[in-house]
Amino acid sequence: MALAYLRELDHDTRFAIWKIEETAEELLSKLQLDEEEKCRLQQMSKGKRSLHWLATRVLLRYLLQTDQYIHCPSDANGKPYLPDYPYQISLTHSFDFAGVMLSTKGACGIDLELIKEKVVRIREKFLKPEELQFIRKEDEVAQMYACWCAKEAVYKLQGNRGVSFLHDMTIHPFTYRAQGVMTVDLFKAQQKFSFQVYYEKFQDYMLGYVVE
């Protein structure tokens, strides 16, 4: 694996992105897995899915600076956590990259997506009419991906289930730049929560991340 991006947002939060260059066997040789994890890995389809799963675990070891076994289960909603470390975590992957975010400040979320034209076809599935109004034609595809990554990051932060991108999240108008921040409102359990979500273009990808 090659470290592609390492960033410390502050003393409490950092994330890293790695380019996956190894085989599954090479990644597996860097890990210790318990029986449940071995079973889960065997149930995965070969190819990118298993590579992504293994790569995030190797990257987690890199960020925690340990060569020991790391217990990283998921809760009932599929949200990963570290019972033996004082960090909240979020994982992401897309094609040839895997990413991990760690924070002692609070819940966090990170999302990485390869930018493709197809997002235009599904825009009305995750953006409200009022959100589509501030999308600029000259930045259409990139800005839509920034919006998707922002909502996905908030979705991961809040626990992974029971939230609709379209109906339960609203992005405040923003002008797209290659790197910026937007405000995302989350409506859940009859309450409104507001988050400052950061986004940036990373090579041919869009990256979004947020901390509670």
**Taking the chain (212 residues) in consecutive chunks of 10 residues, what is each chunk's mean pLDDT?**
88 95 91 87 82 93 92 92 96 96 97 96 97 97 98 93 94 97 95 97 97 94
**pLDDT given for residue 47 in this prediction:** 77
Angle 15-16-22 from CA coordinates, rounded to 5°: 150
The type of residue at 35 is: E
Q: Which residue is listed with tokens 């959100």?
A: 131
H or E element that contains 196: strand 191-202
Would you state the structure tokens that stand for residue 56, as one six-digit string?
């995030």
Which distant-in-sequence residues (6+ apart) come within 8 Å of 23 by Cβ? none
pLDDT, position 186:
97
pLDDT, position 67: 87
The whole model's pTM is what?
0.94
Question: Domains in the chain, please, with CATH?
Answer: 2-105 (3.90.470.20), 111-211 (3.90.470)
d(CA 126, CA 209): 18
* Predicted local distance difference test score (pLDDT) of residue 145: 98
The pLDDT, as a whole number, for residue 37 is: 87
| Residue 40 host element (H or E) | helix 35-43
pLDDT at 1: 61
